[in-house]
Amino acid sequence: MTTTDRIDAEARSRPSMATEPSAEPGPGRLLRPYLGSFAAVMAFQVIGALAGLVPLLAVVELGRTLLAPGPVDGGHVRAVVIAGAAGLLVRLVFTAASSGIGHLLDGRVQLSFRRRLAEHLGRVPIGWLSRRRTGALAKVVGEDVSAVHPFIAHAPGELVAAFVVPTASLIYLFAVDWRLTLITLIPVGLAVALVPLMMTPARLREQQDFDRGMGRISNAVVEFMQGIAVVKSFGGAGRAHREFLTAADDFVDTFRRWVRGVSGIAAGMQLALSPPFVLLVVLIGGTARIASGGLAPADLLPFVLLGLGLTAPVAALGHGFDDMQAAWRATGRIRDVLDEPPLPEPARPIAPRGHRVELRGVRFGYEADREVLRGIDLVLAPGTVTAVVGPSGSGKSTLVQLLPRFFDPTGGSVSLGGVDLRDMSSRELRRRVSFVFQDVRLLRASVADNIALAVPHAGREDVVRAAGMANLHERILELPHGYETVIGEEAGLSGGEAQRLAIARAILADAPVMVFDEATAFADPQTEQAVRRALAALQGDRTMLVIAHRLATIADADAVAVLEDGVIVEYGAPAELRARGGKFAEFWRSHRSADSGGDQVHSHSAKEEHP
């Protein structure tokens, strides 16, 4: 068995290293490490809530003492007042402690979530990120993480108060008069009876539509802002706004349906729990009990005070329930991202021997029923430049994204130095493979830091040398602060300049395998020259793979692979393939004609500008 066959066999038999996502729903799994702090928050809130009843009971006791026949016991009155004041103080201290711990816990949880998301997004396949809408991921990291704030910082207190206060109050009221207690509970019963109407399948669907509508608006805003320069350049502002306006209009319709569905129920609950209605029910029931001789007039006072106190916690329960629902949905979306399997790492990484790249029987598809690459066999030898050409949609970009392991092939293997990429550590792979892609992303940092992204501790001389090789040094010196200019704040770079910076970044990385994917997509003469100079200066013993449409770049390649419909249809030296008169020769003629036309237009324009 050959080495390649052994690698293929191992790749096919290798068990999946992705972990199965947990079936535990909602916030539970994500918040489990903080249960101790949650317990402290709720314990302090219970003490504060119970202490808050003491002043009310003190007022009740004062009323009974003052209404009782005979002289007033001053000592008893003072003791009751002191007890009421102490209850207020205890409530203040423990409620403040609960709120403070809750907000500190909220900060810890949000920081932990964002760190975990950042770390996890750094470990998932880059291809997965590239196929996700930026707005949706931004919403998870931003809005969804923030949505846990009321659940952590406020909901525990509200929910504890909603259960503890009514329970303690009801125990006391039942001891006074169980019949009037049942009458006092009529408003609460009416409100609770309306709660299931808020949880019908129709209401839940409306809430889900509400969340999806907000997500579409976030996507439209983020993507419009990211492409605003292109939109303005080509006068497409109206079309670009249309997606946002459509999302906003759809959201308005969804919001109206949601409001129509819940407004009547919410109004009924608010009326049932309103103090005037509760007071009316208590007074009618209490008057009837007093008139029948079943209740002393002084005993009506606790029902007036505590009965009104029953409604506020129940109303808070409604708000806390809303916060719990929102947090449940948000943490579900956070969990979905965290459950995305990271790029599998081998248990025992193998270091490659050399930098020969081999693709054997490589198959890949973004969707299970549609393959983009269908059995690719290709060898990239050290010291050579291999160019991949082909029509749009032929799979060129997908092919080169397999080398830095943005995706793993669904069939076959990609090996470097005789080792399957899946058997190498990600750190080792990044050290050996660098790339310049069409879509260049620059950090909001200095020009020097952007160039030294892969080599953070590189000296200024090395950074300047790489910029010079990429034909960018003179342009950098024109910036306000030279290499210390912060991109995006103090200056911006054109598309061609950004690609030259990416080339400088790859040069500085000094990896033995280099990939150029449409590196002349925004080609100006300087960028084209930078690519050719970089290829010539860097080639040496490096393995280089280039996707380009410019004939000058392709002509310098040692070999050309013509890709069509996910299959390599021609392979060989450029001159040899032109002589064959096949697909590459046709490609060469069409692009040569286009380049000649472009040169003629350019020359004509130059003559008009400089007669």
CB distance 258 to 206 below 8 Å? yes
**592-605 average pLDDT score:** 49
Closest CA to 401 of 130, 71, 17, 183: 130
Closest CA to 316 of 536, 164, 529: 164
Residue 153 CB partners (closer than 8 Å, separation 6+)? 99, 102, 103, 105, 106
In this prediction, residue 1 carries a pLDDT of 39
Closest CA to 568 of 361, 270, 418: 361
Question: Locate tokens 């001053």: which residue?
Answer: 74
CATH superfamily of 357-585: P-loop containing nucleotide triphosphate hydrolases (3.40.50.300)
Closest CA to 358 of 13, 14, 7: 7
In this prediction, residue 537 carries a pLDDT of 66
Q: In Å, what is the CA distance from 283 to each residue of 171, 277, 297, 298? A: 20, 10, 11, 13
Q: Would you list the domain boundaries of the chain? A: 24-338, 357-585
CB distance 422 to 344 below 8 Å? yes
Closest CA to 46 of 321, 328, 313, 303: 313
CB atoms within 10 A of CB 273: 21
pLDDT of residue 85 exceeding 90 = yes
Mean pLDDT of the chain: 78
pLDDT of residue 378 exceeding 90 = yes
CB distance 50 to 309 below 8 Å? no
Closest CA to 387 of 592, 539, 509, 505: 539
Residue 206 CB partners (closer than 8 Å, separation 6+)? 254, 257, 258, 261, 262
CB distance 542 to 383 below 8 Å? yes
**513-521 average pLDDT score:** 74
DSSP notation for 528-547 = HHHHHHHHHHH-TT-EEEEE
24-338 belongs to which CATH class? Answer: mainly alpha
600 vs 276, higher pLDDT: 276
- pLDDT band at residue 13 using 50, 70 and 90 as cut-offs: very low
Q: At what angle do helices 35-67 and 300-338 cross, to 10 degrees?
A: 170
Residue 189 CB partners (closer than 8 Å, separation 6+)? none
CB atoms within 10 A of CB 251: 18
CB atoms within 10 A of CB 457: 6
In this prediction, residue 73 carries a pLDDT of 81
- Both tokens assigned to 336: 């979905």
Return d(Cα 503, Cα 158) in angstroms, integer: 57
3-state class of 374 per DSSP?
strand
- Both tokens assigned to 453: 């992204």
Most trustworthy range by pLDDT among 66-70, 387-391, 590-594: 387-391
Residue 406 CB partners (closer than 8 Å, separation 6+)? 125, 126, 127, 130
Closest CA to 189 of 285, 273, 287: 273
Closest CA to 452 of 506, 528, 496, 406: 506
**221-228 average pLDDT score:** 62
Paired strand residues for 362: 376
> First-to-last CA distance in the chain?
71
pLDDT of residue 249 exceeding 90 = no
CB atoms within 10 A of CB 84: 18
Residue 144 CB partners (closer than 8 Å, separation 6+)? 330, 331, 333, 334
Return d(Cα 203, Cα 209) in angstroms, integer: 10
- pLDDT band at residue 335 using 50, 70 and 90 as cut-offs: confident
Q: Which helix (H) or strand (E) holds 335?
A: helix 300-338
In this prediction, residue 316 carries a pLDDT of 62
pTM given for the model: 0.58
- Both tokens assigned to 136: 């949706």
Lowest mean pLDDT among 4-13, 199-208, 461-470, 499-508: 4-13
CB atoms within 10 A of CB 328: 16
3-state class of 376 per DSSP?
strand
* Secondary structure in 3-state letters for 167-208: HHHHHHHHHHCHHHHHHHCHHHHHHHHHHHHHHCHHHHHHHH
- pLDDT band at residue 127 using 50, 70 and 90 as cut-offs: low
Q: Quote the percentage of the chain above a pLDDT of 70.
A: 79
168 vs 610, higher pLDDT: 168
Q: Where does 234-299 have alpha helices with state H?
A: 237-273, 275-291
Lowest mean pLDDT among 4-13, 202-211, 500-509: 4-13
Return d(Cα 498, Cα 371) in angstroms, integer: 32
CB distance 563 to 395 below 8 Å? yes
DSSP 512: S
pLDDT of residue 306 exceeding 80 = yes
Q: Which helix (H) or strand (E) holds 385?
A: strand 385-389
**Max intra-chain CA distance, the chain:** 123
CB distance 564 to 390 below 8 Å? yes
